[in-house]
Amino acid sequence: MVILILVFCISFFFGANAKNLISMRNHNTSGKTEESTPTKTETGSPTTTATEDHTDTPTTQVDSVSQLIAGMSLEEKIGQMFIVSFTGTTVPTALNALIKDNHVGGVILYPENIENDNQLVTLINSIKVVNSVNKLPLFISTDQEGGRVSRLPARATTFPPNLVIGEKRSATLSYAVGNVMGKELKAYGFNVDFAPVLDIFSNPQNTVIGDRSFGSDPNLVASLGVATMEGIRNTGVIPVIKHFPGHGDTSVDSHKDLPISYKTMDQLEAFELVPFEEAIKDGADMVMVAHIELPNVDRSLTPASLSTYVISDILRQRLHFNGVVITDDMHMEAIRKYYSVADATVKAVEAGTDIVLICHSYEEQIESYNALLQAVQKGVISEARIDQSVRRIILLKEKYNLTDQPSTLAAVLSHVGTEENKEIAKETEEK
């Protein structure tokens, strides 16, 4: 009888209620914002080294995360390391399976998934309902940069490209812009924004970055980029700085082929890395790594997103980044022309990546999940290495108090496209 009671207690603890380990996941009954704003003293997560540093993490928090990881199957752990896209404006069968069967850690929404306010709130709430069978809440993400990369419905406040905002040279204004974007994203139910762009616009032939950059001065990009990051972060939405180690001096669009930068390490440190280093010092939580080849930095000619030298040596060791590393979309031709997405996924994780972003192909998503799972089962990648990434992911979800509680249309009407938000947008365009 005692044994039966013990088995029941263990099963209950590691079941759906294990979600309560995510910072006592708030249950909101007011219909307002359900995720609290992270405190500025909470910085990052463990490093990739075998002996993990929990100096900034309370012992009780580490213990609870360790307990949660111990109760997860390998399949659940692997799933947490994927963010996926999907087709349509409702939850398709493929996404339902990816969440329930493969336990993916997050989703990304594109314009094809978004029609209007009510549809978007309903869609995100439906995704969260599907995820109710899993132990951890989902990352619900999109690219809301402003300018030509804006995903929210028509009600949302419209901002000019970062290059225009950069002309104001105002960190205060950039913070306000980030704060508006974060509040509006959160009202719809998003909790991750793939912004701000920290690339420096140093090559006029660069069309993939172009006006998405704050400018050609690394210190200006650092100042305004960090301010935007802080503005987003202080709404409780996770900002993602991108595209490490800098995509601004390339002329090839990584959606179409693999860009090459001939910068040396010294040149990167003096220019491209400046905004990233400042953001990391300011407590950046997630970094997106670019698909870009750096032959004068990494002689293996491996794209940065698959490079141990770029991710583990430069980002982790030199810049002391202890947060979550995510790849740019693996469906881009910069990867697909030279690797299978499944092989690239394994290489990215071997290099130190925590989350692999795969969009636009359910087949590639499943193949990549299976490839990573098999790599662990065959001993190519250790389960301890997977646990390192899962720990960082859990700590980040906990830091931002993510939940699967539903959003409301009332929150959208209260926080999106308000006169106050529009006034900030007007400031960005005043001469």
328 is catalytic: yes
As for how many domains the chain has, the answer is 1
Amino acid letter, residue 353:
T
211 is catalytic: no
Whether 425 maps to a domain, the answer reads yes
Instruction: Look at residue 138 and tell me whether its pLDDT is greater than 90.
Output: yes
- Bridge partners of 323? none
- Buried b / exposed e over 331-356, threshold 16 CB at 10 Å, is bbebbbebbebbbbbbbbbbbbbbbb
The residue from 63, 255, 266, 320 that is catalytic is 255
- Find the helix or strand (DSSP H, E) in which 121 lies: helix 117-130
- Bridge partners of 107? 84, 140
- Residue-wise DSSP of 4-62: HHHHHHHHHHTSGGGGGGTTT-----SSS--SPPPPTT------SSSS---TTS-HHHH
Rounded to an integer, the average pLDDT of 9-19 is 44
Whether 46 maps to a domain, the answer reads no
Please check whether residue 293 is in contact with residue 303, taking contact to mean a CB–CB distance below 8 angstroms. yes
Please report, for the domain that includes residue 110, its CATH number.
Answer: 3.20.20.300
**Token pair of 138 as six digits:** 């989902």
Whether 39 maps to a domain, the answer reads no
Instruction: Look at residue 165 and tell me whether its pLDDT is greater than 60.
Output: yes
Q: By CB neighbour count within 10 A (0-12 exposed, 13-18 middle, 19+ buried), where does 3 fall?
A: exposed
pLDDT in tens, 23-65: 433 433 333 334 445 543 333 333 333 334 444 566 666 689 9
Structure confidence at residue 14 (pLDDT): 42
Rounded to an integer, the average pLDDT of 124-143 is 98
Q: How many residues are recorded in the chain?
A: 431
CA 218 to chain centre: 23
Structure confidence at residue 236 (pLDDT): 98
Rounded to an integer, the average pLDDT of 175-183 is 98
Residues in CB range of 166: below 8 A, 6 or more apart: 213, 214, 215, 220, 221, 224
Instruction: Look at residue 3 and tell me whether its pLDDT is greater than 70.
Output: no
Instruction: Look at residue 252 and tell me whether its pLDDT is greater than 60.
Output: yes
Residue found under tokens 């990584």: 254
Structure confidence at residue 63 (pLDDT): 85
Three-state DSSP class for 326?
A: strand
Main-chain dihedrals φ then ψ at residue 203, nearest 5 degrees: -130, 110
Instruction: Look at residue 83 and tell me whether its pLDDT is greater than 80.
Output: yes
Instruction: Look at residue 339 and tell me whether its pLDDT is greater than 60.
Output: yes
Whether 6 maps to a domain, the answer reads no
Structure confidence at residue 206 (pLDDT): 85
Whether 43 maps to a domain, the answer reads no
Whether 44 maps to a domain, the answer reads no
Instruction: Look at residue 296 and tell me whether its pLDDT is greater than 50.
Output: yes
**Token pair of 235 as six digits:** 């709404």
| Closest CA relative to residue 340, chosen from 358, 313, 317 | 358
Please check whether residue 138 is in contact with residue 98, taking contact to mean a CB–CB distance below 8 angstroms. no
Domain that holds residue 390: 72-429
**Token pair of 201 as six digits:** 């616009």
Main-chain dihedrals φ then ψ at residue 378, nearest 5 degrees: -90, 0
Percent of the chain scoring above 70 in pLDDT:
86
Three-state DSSP class for 83?
A: strand
Structure confidence at residue 47 (pLDDT): 35
Rounded to an integer, the average pLDDT of 192-216 is 94
Whether 65 maps to a domain, the answer reads no
Structure confidence at residue 56 (pLDDT): 56
Amino acid letter, residue 279:
A
**Could you tell me the CA-to-CA distances from 217 to 201, 287, 358 in Å, in that order?**
8, 21, 32
Instruction: Look at residue 96 and tell me whether its pLDDT is greater than 70.
Output: yes
**Could you tell me the CA-to-CA distances from 287 to 170, 384, 424 in Å, in that order?**
24, 22, 27
Whether 315 maps to a domain, the answer reads yes
The residue from 328, 329, 354, 404 that is catalytic is 328
Q: What is the pTM of this model?
A: 0.88
Instruction: Look at residue 415 and tell me whether its pLDDT is greater than 80.
Output: yes
CA 80 to chain centre: 12
Structure confidence at residue 135 (pLDDT): 96
- Find the helix or strand (DSSP H, E) in which 139 lies: strand 139-142
Rounded to an integer, the average pLDDT of 259-263 is 94
Residues in CB range of 407: below 8 A, 6 or more apart: 34, 121, 124, 125, 187, 188, 189
Quote the longest CA-to-CA distance of the chain: 77
- How far is residue 132's CA from residue 129's CA, in Å, rounded to a whole number? 5
